[in-house]
Amino acid sequence: MQDKRVLVTGGAGFIGSNLANTLATDNDVVVVDDEYLGTPENVDESVEYHDVSVLADDLPTDVDVVFHLAALSSYAMHEDDPQRGARVNVEGFVNVVEQARQDGCDTVVYASTSSIYGSRTEPSPEDMPIEANTGYEASKLARERYAEYFSNHYDLTCAGMRFFSVYQGYGGAEEHKGEYANVIAQFAADIAEGTPPKLYGDGEQTRDFTHVDDIVRALETAADHELDGIYNVGTGEPYSFNRVVELLNAELGTDVDPEYVENPIPEDVYVHDTCADASKLQAETDWEPQVDFEDGIAQVCEPYK
């Protein structure tokens, strides 16, 4: 993407700042963030920054493309305050897209979630049956339905990207998320300090860990191709938490055993396994994951060496 005016909501957060900073090389980038999960320290000086909520009036939506990443992005955040979760994740999405539409923008790329597939060891295609077991999942499904409305009623192109377990490590913009960061970042920090990482249950749960660089390329690709609909973004190669700990120990030259603890998340809502079928995105664009998992682990560990 080049020579566009672009809005990134949640642009001071983990994924948002990586996207905003990448796009800022060749585009005029505007960031909106209320700093709940983000910090302006993540954002390059060349980016136009607004400390404001996606629920606000008069947002800077006079842009060519909207990347809507702002969200309360975990099960726990929604259970703490379901009403706030719905306002931010659903009303905030509608507010941003409607203001952008009125300003003449017709291309929207937004974050959804792979959590709605539930627990699966087989690759999950976009057209499989889905359901909402948590407030977080319900809010992302509502977002997808509103995107369908904007597409059908106003002819906007709205690409919903179902991310699979995005990671970067505390050496990047993920550090600000703290306890909400991906488990890879948390495990790496613990092991580097000689602290046993805490794994829920027996540690054999799996995730389709996807490096943030691949996520950023997928988001940009979706806008470039003016995609409309729902797309998975993942590698199709899941790893267990136990395997992650093994790889981190090997990369750091340590020998820190994990501590196995009881899962605080109810079993009926905890997603034990995820695996992406990203063939739709790959078939319609030139995107495919490029960061090998062991290379990604090495990048996560680099700041500790």
Q: Helix, strand or coil for residue 126?
A: coil
State how far the Cα of 203 lies from the Cα of 157, in Å rounded to an integer.
40
Q: Helix, strand or coil for residue 77?
A: helix
The tokens describing 91, both together, are 């009303």
Q: Which one-letter amino acid corresponds to residue 57?
A: D
Choose the catalytic residue: 110, 117, 136, 170. 136
State how far the Cα of 95 lies from the Cα of 22, in Å rounded to an integer.
25
The tokens describing 13, both together, are 């957060």
Question: CB under 8 Å to 38, separation ≥6 — which residues?
Answer: 10, 11, 12, 13, 14, 16, 17, 176
Q: Which one-letter amino acid corresponds to residue 103?
A: D
Closest C-alpha to 140, from 92, 106, 100: 92
State how far the Cα of 110 lies from the Cα of 143, in Å rounded to an integer.
9
Question: CB under 8 Å to 52, separation ≥6 — which residues?
Answer: 32, 33, 34, 59
Closest C-alpha to 24, from 67, 54, 72: 67
Strand partners of residue 112: 162
Question: CB under 8 Å to 53, separation ≥6 — which residues?
Answer: 34, 88, 92
Catalytic, 200? Answer no
Catalytic residues: 136
